[in-house]
Amino acid sequence: MSAITWTKSAEDGPARTGTLKTPHGEVRTPAFMPVGTRAAVKAVDPTDLVALGAELILANTYHLMLRPGESLIEEMGGLHGFMAWERPILTDSGGFQIFSLDPEIDEQGATFRSVYDGETLRLTPEESVAVQESLGADIIMVLDVCVGLPAPREVVESGMWRTLRWAERCLAAHSRDDQALFGIVQGGVDADLRKASAEETAALGFPGFGIGGLSVGESAGERNLALEAAVSGLPDDRPRYVMGLGDTEGLLEAITRGADLFDCVIPTRLARHGRVLTRQGDFNLKISAYETDEGPLDPECGCHTCVTHSRAYLRHLVRTGELSAHRLLTIHNLAYTMDLVAEAARAITESRLAELMDEVRRRRRVSPSQADAL
């Protein structure tokens, strides 16, 4: 029996809502995961995340195996005990981070250098699973081969088949029955490769699936076609996780195509640079127009930041480099992103997702002057 179950509760075309049950609680899907790369979501703590309604967070295998090391985390009660986070956790395998380090990849695994001290390291599919089992997340991911786009078809296809072979090795190495191991669909933006990857990965019997290798240089149109092809080859009764996707339009486009889970650093990274996500369009809080603005970041947002502070005060914090600015803007940007996904879920249950997408597009159109300010 799988460590997780996913049950569909409503659908609107390919889009669907459901409940993901894990050893550490339930997650209502579609759901956005705040990214806690090093066992911490930047600028906020678990109390903030609970207040925001986060039901699932992500941590990064590559970084945690280097610092502080999976053995120490295991001794501290796994990620849940180490972070004081009692809700579900997903760990990625480190594949994307390794890809970004220009590794040497062969059939057995990947060789790369540590971003911390330059030491040469080696990671195989089996070792990635072993590290994630020590970390103790509810959901873990196979080690995959991520290819930057655009790339020649033969390169994309080679990475896709190697990912499938590594997936079989990860399954053989996986030993914890209280963790769910997800497979990962690759194939770039080639619809035929995506569908073939999805079908072959599904045939291995994973309890859930990541759709990887996107947000790496492709256009929105290419991404959408790749998602449609991947979803067409995956079973309807298991969760689909689009890895690394978190912009407003991208989230809605993926949800309408049948995706369930998402993660991305966009909300937290933009917050640390004074960028604000809102229902009326995104803006840069550093510009002078907000110097005496007494209004909230978003008058339709009920997060702690919007209820408590003015744009003028928050701009002051950003301009003077106060660390509290990072926390307050992060709270808002995460609240915006998770509220957007929750709103999409409600729209699915009411069969009005298309109307929501039209409304979001209309309201978030920005003028040329606003775009310059971003």
Catalytic residues: 92, 263
CA distance 174 to 186: 21
DSSP state, residue 289: G
What tokens appear for 285 in the block? 């809080």
Extended strands (E) in the chain: 5-12, 15-22, 25-29, 31-33, 57-60, 89-92, 104-105, 110-113, 120-123, 139-141, 180-185, 209-211, 240-242, 261-263, 275-276, 283-284
Output the CA torsion 198→202→208→210 (10° steps): -20
CA distances from 285 to 167, 265, 295, 297 (A): 44, 19, 12, 9
Among all chains, which residue has been given the structure tokens 């295998």?
Answer: 61
- Separation CA 3–CA 265 (nearest Å): 27
The number of beta carbons lying within 10 Å of the beta carbon of residue 51 is 13
What tokens does 305 get?
């930041």
Q: What distance in Å separates the CA atoms of residue 374 and residue 213, rounded to the nearest whole number?
A: 27
Cα separation, 143 vs 112, in Å, equals: 14
Dmax (CA) of the chain:
61
